Amino acid sequence: MKSYLAAAVQMTSVPDLQKNLAQAEDLIDFAVHQGATLIGLPENFSFMGDENEKRAQALAIATESEKFLKTMAQRFQITILGGGFPVPTNSTGKVYNTALLIDSNGEELTRYHKVHLFDVNVPDGNTYQESSTVMAGTQLPSVYLSPELGNLGLSVCYDVRFPELYRYLSQKEADVVFVPAAFTAYTGKDHWQVLLQARAIENTYYIIAPAQTGLNYARRQTHGHAMIIDPWGMVLADAGEQPGVAIAEINPVRLEQVRRQMPSLQHRVF
């Protein structure tokens, strides 16, 4: 593993598949021209709208999203994460919220079905019931072992509130963990950054957190602030509140330095 630049893409996705893919392509192109070779797209990058509308279009969204990721990876010679899109299940009528990691040859490296679903009554008056249309995954995310990029772990959005998942990824020797999200504006202002920093600090790995931002549809307002955070918890890049890209260096020397200076994982009792 050598040092390289990674990018966390920030989008305002809407209920329009082709419009979202065009926006994503522009931001990927920008990140590549800045030198990024590992790029993450946020949760719901290809479609963000009413849950029942998403389920009705799920097959088309899934097909086009996967095709898009493979095309982008090959065209720009990058490794890319599609941070969350609906993939139909076989029998229930629901979908899996799926994160998909693709290499520069357009080959699938690993995929993860989000296990923690966002069923919450937020104090701002909005109610979210992800489980009404989404089937929870049943497998913990795998860690893809990359000689060039380090060991890459996956998670999605609401997972960030469940530290046991991230400790599992650390036990699988993750160096870099993705947290693609569509965090609500109300919860994001208080919890987004501090949760990301906590996951990075307690597990001493890099966090790449692509994000949705702005008004996506109806009353759905997302927080933004796509980030890259180092193993010490330092925010290396923050995309702010507008669509754009957070870019920072993933440095194996820094990773080793932090783990040497703060060897807390070696001191675990339980």
Continuous H helices in the chain: 17-33, 51-56, 58-76, 163-171, 185-203, 252-261
Q: Is 70 an active-site residue?
A: no
Task: For 228, list phi and psi in degrees, rounded to 5.
Answer: -125, 130
Q: Which of 51, 157, 172, 249 is catalytic?
A: 157
Q: What torsion do the CA atoms of 46, 3, 234, 245 make, to the nearest 10 degrees?
A: -30
Helices (H) and strands (E) in the chain, counts: 6, 16
Query: Cα separation of 219 and 51, whole Å?
Result: 13
Q: Is 53 an active-site residue?
A: no
Q: Is 107 an active-site residue?
A: no
CA-based nearest residue to 130, from 120, 113, 117: 117
CA-based nearest residue to 203, from 120, 143, 247: 143
Residue 87: C-alpha distances to residues 64, 140, 218, 230 (Å): 11, 17, 23, 32
Exposed e or buried b per residue across 187-217, where buried means at least 16 C-beta atoms within 10 angstroms of its C-beta: bbeebbbebbbbbbbebbbbbbbbbbbbebb
Q: Which of 64, 66, 70, 114 is catalytic?
A: 114
What element of type H or E holds 79?
strand 79-88
Q: Which of 43, 64, 66, 70 is catalytic?
A: 43
Residues belonging to the active site: 43, 114, 157
